Structure formats: structure tokens, C-alpha cells
Chain A
């Protein structure tokens, strides 16, 4: 042990120049500790106090305000959630929307049956002329209105010539024929209009089947417009029917007038005969 120590010391002594130079260089090169830039305790205390004040201000002013904001936003969120819940579960539940759309499909099914019923043929005439007239009258085709007058005359005969009937009688016959033909023509037009209305109603029901809850009332508004129009057509049809009744009543009155005229002339003729005898 002592020998090893002696050797080490000997080695140091032999290389003392290099070691001294190395120690010097290391002493110079090794970085020295940097002193703090604010070394004065008073300055540090002031700065710490100032930072504390800033911190307190931030906590009190910004932190407090943000806390209030957070509470308010939380309350708003709660209300929005409640309203959303009301709309999703009470006002517009998806299941109810689906049910309503399914119901519209069922209504469409019923009206498909109704259309089929309304279009069931009801013709039954057997002779040529009546069959022709009946086909036109039940055709629901406005293009056949032009043929109806000729077909009507084929069944109900034309206006009698002046040699066969008195002018008043011809007037009544002409007016009655006109009213009857007009009614048959209007019946064709009304049938065609009704078909178009059924088509429009189908279109609206199909649209309603895919409508959103918010747009269903828009389809309803369109339906209301069509309903008003449809009432107008019904009124027009009723008016035509009433016109026909009025002509019928007028004919009854005309018959009584003719009878009164015939009775007067008969009495006159009888009186003349009696005077001559």
C-alpha cells in the first residue's frame, strides 16, 4: 500500500509541469457562478408584493367575473336543455312524427279505394241512341261535350217545326232542351273537375307523407286553398242543379198557362157553336 502511494506521488512529481499547467487552464476555463441580477432584498420584496397584488386583482376581478359568467352560462345551458327536451319528447317526438306520416299513408289508401268506387261504371242503356248519349254523359271527358247536342237530339228529338207547335210552346221546348243539355254538359265538366281535384289531393297527401312537422302546415295551407276552390266548384254545381229545377218549375207554370189559354179558347169555341145552333 505504501509502495503504491509512493509510485503515485512519484508519477505526480515527474509530470508536475504538465499538471500545473492543466490545473491553471481548468481554473480559468471552468465557468464561475453568475451572481443574481437583482440581488438586493428590498427590490425583490417590492416585486413580490406587486406580483401578489396583480394576482389578487386577477383572482378578484377576472376570476370572480368568470365564475359568475360560468354560473349564468350553466343556467342558460340548463334552460336550453330543458327546452330541447320539451321539443324532442313532448312537441315533436320522432315516434309521433312517424305515426303521423303512417296515418297519412292510411288516408291515401282509403281515398284510393274511394276513387275506385267513384269510377265504377254505372251505364246501362241498351239501344244505340241512348247508349251513345249515356256514354258521353258519363264520360268525365270534356272533349265529348261537343258531341252531346247531336246525341241528345237523337234520343229526345229536335225542336218541333213551327207548323207543329205554337211559338210559345216552341219557346218552352227550346228553353227546356237547352237547360237539359247544359246540365248534361256541366255534369261532364264537373266530373272532370272532380277527377282533377282527386289527383291534386293525392299529390298533396304524397307530399304530406314526407313533410317535416314544420312544413306540414304548409301542405295544410295548400290543402285549404284547394278546399276553398273545391267549395266554389260545388257551389257552381249546385247552382247548375238549381237552374235546372227553376226551368222545371217554369215549365210547370207554362203548362198551366197553356191550359188556361186552351180552356178559354175552348169556352169561346163552345159559345160560338151554341150561338150558331
Chain B
């Protein structure tokens, strides 16, 4: 009968009072009986409100525990995290200062570009004027033509060079005028000399191209960014490899010429030996006849 205590009991008492009044008025017993039975059943079945089981002391203890966790554990962790972030911030600031003021200071970048411009202004035209001083000095027509064609820094007129060479040094002697051995020697000497003169013309043209490359790299140096200077450096180094290759070709040409000169002198020795032997034989024949 716990369900009939408290507010529930008050409601039931009021209900009974109402029922008694209705009974008095209507005297309908069946209705009354039905109503009383239904009321009692519902009163028994309806769940009663439940009061909170937790006690106030436990709630307070839990709250204090949470506060302790916040104040002691979380505060400490946040303090550590803040210290770490502060150190990261200091490191980043130092890195930025390093980049801004030591590695890539804007003033020094501008100074480096300015140095390139200044060097261009100082040296380029001066070197160009020195480099292009005329050195021709031949007076007669054929040598003047040969000198001109050998110094014109062009590879498109090798035919003109051969003509000027023959006009200056003479053609290959006809077969009637020289022995085959001598003609071979003369032809080889002429060929080596002409090849060397043509190689020098090519070397002059290459030299012009190489100077153009150097000026291209230098011009770019006026605008290059610190991070793209490596492109210029690498291009310059690779160009140096190519220059070395061209120099090797020039040295090879020089070696061919020197070898031809040495072979020519040696050929004279061989010829002298041969002629000496012929002379000795002729003198022996002459002496025997006498």
C-alpha cells in the first residue's frame, strides 16, 4: 500500500469524496462499483515518482575531484604545451631572422645584382675594344687577302682561304717539276698548314660564341634570384666543359701541325740519307771508271 501514500492518497481521498457525492445523487451502484474498482486498479498500477538517490555530499566530492583535475593535471599539461609552443615560436622567429638578415638579406641581394651591373659597365666595353684591336699588317695584295681571310672569325669562307693561301704560297708543283715523294710532302705540308688556319678561324668563331654565352650568363646575373643562381652556376660549369672540349680540339689541331712539321723534318733526313747513299754510290762508280 505504499502507492497509497503522499499525494496519491490525497487524490484518492478526494476521488472517494466525489464518488460518495455522486452515489448520493444517483444511487447507481453498478457505476459506483465499476468506478471504485477502476480507480483502485489504476492507483495500484500507476508508477510513483522516484526521488533522486544521490546524496549531496557525493555530488560535492565529485565536483571537487573535477576541480582538482582541472587545476592540477590539466593546468600542468597546458603549461607544458605552452612552453613547447613558446620554444617553437622562438625557433621559428630565429629561423626567420636568419633567413631575413643573414642568408637572404634583401640589401645584399640587391648589392650582388648591382655588382654584376657595375662589372658589366666597367669591363664589358673595355675588354671588347681591347679584344677587337686590329692586328693586320700585310702590305701586298695576296698576303693582305690571306691575312684578312684568316682573321675574319668566319667559317663560311674556307674556299677563299684556300685560294688566298695558294696565291701567297704558290700551288703544288706539277709532276714534271718535283718527284712524287716531294709532291706528297709539299701537299701534306700545305694541307696541314691550311687545316690549322681553318681551325683557327673556327676557334675565333667559337671564341665569339663563348663570349656571347658569358655575356648572356652575366646579363642574367643582374636579375637572378638567390634560389635560381644555381641554374647559372650549373650552366656556366657545363659551358666550361664544352670550352674545354673545344680547347682540346685546338690542341689536337696544334699537335697535328707539330707532328706534320716533325715528320717533314724527318722526311728531309730520310731524303738526305737516300741522296747521300746515291751520292756515295755515284762517286764509287766514278772512281772505279777512272
Residue of A nearest to B106 (CB): A90
Q: In the complex, what residues of A have CB within 8 A of residue B259's CB?
A: 179-181, 183-184, 187, 244
Could you say which interface size class chain A belongs to? 35 or more
Q: Which of B195-230 contact A (CB under 8 A)?
A: 195, 198-199, 202, 205-206, 209-210, 212-213, 216-217, 220, 223-228, 230
Number of A-B residue pairs with CB-CB distance less than 8 Å in the complex they form: 399
Q: Contact check, A123 vs B191: say whether CB atoms are below 8 A apart.
A: yes
Contact partner, B237, options A16, A118, A172, A224, Cβ 8 Å? A224
Separation of A226 and B273 alpha carbons in the complex (Å): 49
Q: Contact check, A92 vs B52: say whether CB atoms are below 8 A apart.
A: no
Contact partner, A160, options B15, B42, B230, B273, Cβ 8 Å? B273
Chain B nearest CB: distance from A192 CB in Å?
9
Q: In the complex, what residues of A have CB within 8 A of residue B266's CB?
A: 156, 173, 176-177, 180, 251
Q: Contact check, A24 vs B19: say whether CB atoms are below 8 A apart.
A: yes
Asked whether A198 and B245 contact (CB < 8 A) given A241-B255, A244-B258, A244-B262, the answer is yes
| Interface CB pairs A-B, < 8 A, 7 | A46-B59, A51-B63, A79-B95, A103-B216, A184-B256, A197-B241, A216-B231
Render A68-91 as a binary contact track against B, CB cut-off 8 A, 1 for contact: 110011011001101100110011
Separation of A208 and B29 alpha carbons in the complex (Å): 112
Q: Contact check, B210 vs A90: say whether CB atoms are below 8 A apart.
A: no
Q: In the complex, what residues of B have CB within 8 A of residue A184's CB?
A: 255-256, 259
Closest 4 CB pairs of A and B: A65-B78, A220-B234, A100-B231, A125-B191
Query: Is A11 interfacial (CB 8 A cutoff)?
Result: no
Q: Contact check, B86 vs A72: say whether CB atoms are below 8 A apart.
A: yes
Chain A nearest CB: distance from B279 CB in Å?
11
Query: Is B116 interfacial (CB 8 A cutoff)?
Result: no
Q: Contact check, A157 vs B226: say whether CB atoms are below 8 A apart.
A: no
User: Could you tell me how many residues of chain B have their Cβ less than 8 Å away from some Cβ of chain A?
Assistant: 121
Q: Contact check, B191 vs A111: say whether CB atoms are below 8 A apart.
A: no
Render A128-151 as a binary contact track against B, CB cut-off 8 A, 1 for contact: 011101100110000000000000
Q: In the complex, what residues of A have CB within 8 A of residue B255's CB?
A: 183-184, 186-187, 190, 237, 240-241, 244
Q: Contact check, A28 vs B38: say whether CB atoms are below 8 A apart.
A: yes
Render A234-251 as a binary contact track against B, CB cut-off 8 A, 1 for contact: 100110110011011001
Q: Contact check, B225 vs A111: say whether CB atoms are below 8 A apart.
A: no
Q: Which of B44-76 contact A (CB under 8 A)?
A: 49-52, 56, 59-60, 63-64, 66-67, 70-71, 74-75
List chain A positions with a Cβ less than 8 A from chain B.
16-17, 20-21, 24-25, 27-29, 32, 34-35, 37-38, 42-43, 46-47, 50-51, 53-54, 57-58, 61-62, 65-66, 68-69, 72-73, 75-76, 79-80, 82-83, 86-87, 90-93, 96-97, 99-101, 103-104, 106-107, 110-111, 113-114, 117-118, 120-127, 129-131, 133-134, 137-138, 152, 154-157, 159-160, 163-165, 169, 172-173, 176-177, 179-181, 183-184, 186-188, 190-191, 193-195, 197-198, 200-201, 204-205, 208, 211, 213, 216-217, 219-220, 223-224, 226-227, 230-231, 233-234, 237-238, 240-241, 244-245, 247-248, 251
Q: Contact check, B31 vs A129: say whether CB atoms are below 8 A apart.
A: no
Q: Contact check, A231 vs B244: say whether CB atoms are below 8 A apart.
A: yes
Q: Which of B6-45 contact A (CB under 8 A)?
A: 7, 11, 15, 18-19, 22, 26, 28, 31, 34-35, 38-39, 42-43
Q: In the complex, what residues of B have CB within 8 A of residue A122's CB?
A: 158, 194-195, 198-199, 202
Which of B130-138, B143-151, B181-189 is found at the contact surface with chain A? B181-189
Q: Contact check, B249 vs A129: say whether CB atoms are below 8 A apart.
A: no
Q: Contact check, B190 vs A124: say whether CB atoms are below 8 A apart.
A: yes
Q: Contact check, A160 vs B270: say whether CB atoms are below 8 A apart.
A: yes
Q: In the complex, what residues of B have CB within 8 A of residue A130's CB?
A: 184, 187-188, 191
Chain B nearest CB: distance from A261 CB in Å?
14
List chain B positions with a Cβ less than 8 A from chain A.
7, 11, 15, 18-19, 22, 26, 28, 31, 34-35, 38-39, 42-43, 49-52, 56, 59-60, 63-64, 66-67, 70-71, 74-75, 78-79, 81-82, 85-86, 88-89, 92-93, 95-96, 99-100, 104, 106, 109, 155, 158, 162, 172, 181, 183-185, 187-188, 190-192, 194-195, 198-199, 202, 205-206, 209-210, 212-213, 216-217, 220, 223-228, 230-235, 237-242, 244-249, 251-256, 258-267, 269-271, 273-274, 276-277
